[in-house]
A and B are shown apart, each in its own frame.
Chain A
Amino acid sequence: MSGTENQMTGAEIVLQALRDNGVEHIFGYPGGAVLPIYDEIHQQDDIQHILVRHEQGAGHMAEGYARSTGKVGVMLVTSGPGATNAVTPLQDALMDSIPLVCISGQVPTPLIGSDAFQECDTVGITRPCTKHNWLVKDVNDLARIIHEAFRIAQSGRPGPVVVDIPKDVQFATGTYTPPSAVPTQKSYQPKKQGDLKKIEEAVELMRNARQPIIYSGGGVINSGPEASHLLRELVELTGFPITSTLMGLGAYPASGKAWLGMLGMHGTYEANMAMHDCDVMVCIGARFDDRITGRLNAFSPNSKKIHIDIDPSSINKNVRVDVPILGDVGTVLEDMVRLWRAASKSADKTRLSDWWETITKWRARNSLAYAPNDDVIMPQYAIQRLYELSKGRDTYITTEVGQHQMWAAQFFGFEQPNRWMTSGGLGTMGYGFPAAIGVQVAHPNSLVVDIAGDASIQMCIQEMSCAVQYGLPVKIFILNNQYMGMVRQWQQLLHGNRLSHSYTEAMPDFVKLAEAYGGVGIRCEKPSELDAAIRQMIDTPAPVIFDCRVANLANCFPMIPSGKAHNEMLLPDEATDEAVANAIDAKGRQLV
């Protein structure tokens, strides 16, 4: 490998480096500063480029692609506005730990700093919203940097990275270095193996627990399918109840007998009560986010806490834990399962029977109940029907952000990991539809549904054009209540029901909109017609916008109001207008 053989232009190096890192699809939008790369894309067939309609869409597509495959998602944008439009998905990927490589064009090196056309300080702007970023000033560094970018994006706690490539570097000729020839960086070496002593300590705590709970998160899914498998094995062996964060749904099957449902602000009564009253909490790949903990000084006051996480800065950040275990969830669970098996001969499962009895009582509270209605479609009912009618299919669900997202998490049962894509940390409206397109690109024959709200969907609706262009039969299932439902619910809770700007007075005709883009539009207004309409949507081999007209003023319950503890939930049957109006006190109103 010497001489002219591996001499290439910067643009050729980009394509070769992508191929050598196993990339098959990239999501992007051309522009002046990336034209040389687009010229290379045009002259090859190994990597398929998906042309988006807005760079934000490219980022969320790459995220959906990454989350549903476990691979790194790749996006390609031009300088200036191309890069600034990528900021939202980059921050989204950072908060939800999604491996993403964003390649951006930059003005030629001699023009950097001159306020050139479409110039922005991309590495400066993206520094706080990436794991790491690079400005490549020498074509001979380009291959090494791209290989490093892929390594950093997917190792340790995954996340987004940006490689900013000036246009003259794309034209310049330099040496291509294959991934195997690049020495790995010395500084960033995340630890996978957990400290065995700590794991032993954790197993000892778990063996003596009388009211234990497993609280799992997105880290289990990021760690790979084997981690989910081991989690199921651990639950089976220990007989512990398990709950999960929004990001962790699917790691343990919703049909499993130890499943308590999601926890947190809109989690089930049994999950939150069990978290509050437990004596040993095993947190696996979750980060004690504020939507989970409620009031921190009342969070699970009497428990010993075990925390498995690959990111040292997640440990003891919000909640102080007793047994921190630093390492990859899959690797640590393997040790934990092995140690449990070795030690469990004397463990007595009957010691948990009182705890399960209590949990059964909480379950009987039926905290997800809602009043059924024959005239209007209840949003919860719509999700339940979608779930029932898509059973047995190879289904992937994405969501936007708001009430529909919480209802989807509550009422759609996930049996497998990597089937549920939602913006948890950043809460990005507009995430779900492009994410669904990314999922569909990776799984062309699967049923991919974006459960959306009427407000969120309008934030990235332009990608309908992309879905139609590539024949991607993504289904958009809009729970249309004419409101920004979650905003309206909070205004009702916090601001005396003064609905400031949360009602959409000029709603587009979603059926006509679908048709205008070349897709299919379906509208459903009656519960009695819902099943047939959903079946029609599933059977349509094209992008569909499903305008599901639901009850306008339904609230999402149960809910832990701001500033309250897990055992102070607002349950649907207690949520009278008066209770809702007084649920949050003056101090709580200052919180988000």
Chain B
Amino acid sequence: MNAHLQPTGSAYFIAKETELAETHTLSVLVDNEPGVLARVIGLFSGRGYNIESLTVSETEHEAHLSRITIVTRGTPHVLDQIKNQLERLVPVHRVVDLTVRAAGLGHDRPIERELALVKVHGSGDHRVEALRLADAFRASVIDANIDHFVFEITGKPSKIEQFIAIMKPLGLIEVCRTGIAAMNRGPQGM
């Protein structure tokens, strides 16, 4: 009933948002300690921010540091808030908006890659067609029987989307995606 009011807004009227929402990729370096992911996710749900994709793994074993890659969508003002709120969490070391950084470096966007496992079931022409297309997409077969394939494909999310769409009429059974891993081009670290 109050849907027209801004979700994270104050009790008062908020000026109509005139900025357009953008999709950004954030890299967050955190201490790999219990509950750290819950803190990050809880912040997003508690403050009404979006998560479109989230990937996390320990990247520096000796220092016990994990790198969380989050794809989120919001207006520039909200994206700024997300960065500031994340930096306030005690186990967070650094937050870098890779999309902003990429623009600063003169790039269109950061390098973003995803891996997907795609299971396809079929026989006859469908099976041949699936294998041919997989080859065209440079997907590799990692498991097969006489009536199924499991393909492994890596690439930009758009490429994976396209591959899945093509496999649909050819007997697509299930898909598992890792979410996006990302970093900026060039010699500098985050």
Contacts and interface: CB of A to CB of B under 8 A. Distances in A.
Interface string B81-100: 10011011111110000000
A587 B77 contact: no
A186 B93 contact: yes
A316 B38 contact: no
Given A152-B90, A187-B31, A562 B85 contact: no
B5 interface: yes
Contacts of A293: 10, 12
A131 B92 CA distance: 12
State which size class the interface on A falls in: 20 to 34
Interface in A101-132: 123-124, 127-128, 131-132
A428 to B, nearest CB: 17
A312 B11 contact: no
B34 interface: yes
Given A131-B90, A311-B88, A313-B81, A297 B13 contact: yes
A316 B85 CA distance: 12
B106 interface: no
Most buried by B among A132, A152, A187, A297: A187
Most buried by A among B11, B77, B85: B11
Contact of A127 (B38, B77, B93): B38
A591 B34 contact: no
Contact of B93 (A187, A294, A312, A313): A187
Contacts of A316: 77, 80-81
A295 B12 contact: yes
Contacts of B169: none
B88 A295 contact: no
A592 interface: yes
Contacts of A563: 12-13
B132 interface: no
Contacts of A312: 84, 87-88
B104 interface: no
B7 to A, nearest CB: 14
Interface in A286-320: 289-291, 293-297, 311-313, 315-318, 320
Interface in B1-31: 1-2, 5, 10-16, 30-31
Nearest to B80: A316
A185 interface: yes
Contacts of A180: none
B187 interface: no
A128 B46 contact: yes
A188 B93 CA distance: 7
Contact of A295 (B13, B42, B85): B13
Given A187-B31, A312-B84, A297 B93 contact: no
B35 interface: yes
B185 interface: no
A131 B89 CA distance: 7
Contacts of B39: 127
B96 to A, nearest CB: 15
A317 B39 CA distance: 20
Interface string A305-342: 00000011101111010000000000000000000000
Contacts of A128: 42, 46
B88 A313 contact: yes
Contacts of A185: 90
A152 B89 CA distance: 11
B174 to A, nearest CB: 31
A580 interface: no
A262 interface: no
A296 B14 contact: yes
A264 to B, nearest CB: 11
Contact of B42 (A127, A291, A311, A320): A127
A563 B10 CA distance: 11
Interface string A566-592: 000000000000000000000100111
A135 interface: yes
B177 to A, nearest CB: 28
A253 to B, nearest CB: 30
Contacts of B1: 590
A296 B12 contact: yes
Interface string B38-68: 1100100010000000000000000000000
Contact of B90 (A123, A132, A294, A590): A132
B35 A127 contact: yes
Nearest to A159: B88
Given A297-B15, A562-B11, A590 B2 contact: yes
A562 B38 contact: no
B119 to A, nearest CB: 34
B190 to A, nearest CB: 15
A185 B38 CA distance: 20
Interface in A43-89: none
Contact of B92 (A187, A313, A317, A592): A187
A128 B93 CA distance: 19
Contacts of B90: 131-132, 152, 185, 187-188
Most buried by B among A123, A135, A296, A320: A296
Nearest to B43: A128
A152 B2 CA distance: 38
Given A124-B38, A313-B84, A316-B80, A562 B91 contact: no
A135 B80 contact: no
A187 B30 CA distance: 8
A188 B35 CA distance: 16
A368 B91 CA distance: 47
Contacts of B34: 135
A289 B87 CA distance: 21
A291 B11 CA distance: 8
Contacts of B85: 313
Contacts of B31: 187
Contacts of A591: 11-13
B94 to A, nearest CB: 9
Contacts of B81: 313, 316-317
B30 to A, nearest CB: 8
A133 to B, nearest CB: 8
Contacts of B16: 297
A131 B1 CA distance: 33
Contacts of A592: 11
6 tightest A-B CB contacts, nearest first? A290-B10, A297-B15, A313-B84, A132-B90, A592-B11, A312-B84
29 contacts: A124-B38, A127-B39, A132-B90, A185-B90, A187-B31, A187-B90, A187-B91, A187-B92, A187-B93, A188-B90, A289-B10, A290-B11, A293-B10, A293-B12, A295-B13, A296-B10, A296-B14, A296-B15, A297-B15, A312-B87, A313-B85, A316-B77, A316-B80, A318-B10, A562-B11, A562-B12, A563-B13, A591-B11, A592-B11
Given A186-B93, A312-B87, A590-B2, 16 more contacts: A124-B35, A124-B38, A127-B38, A128-B42, A128-B46, A132-B90, A135-B34, A152-B90, A290-B12, A293-B10, A296-B15, A297-B15, A320-B77, A562-B11, A587-B13, A590-B5
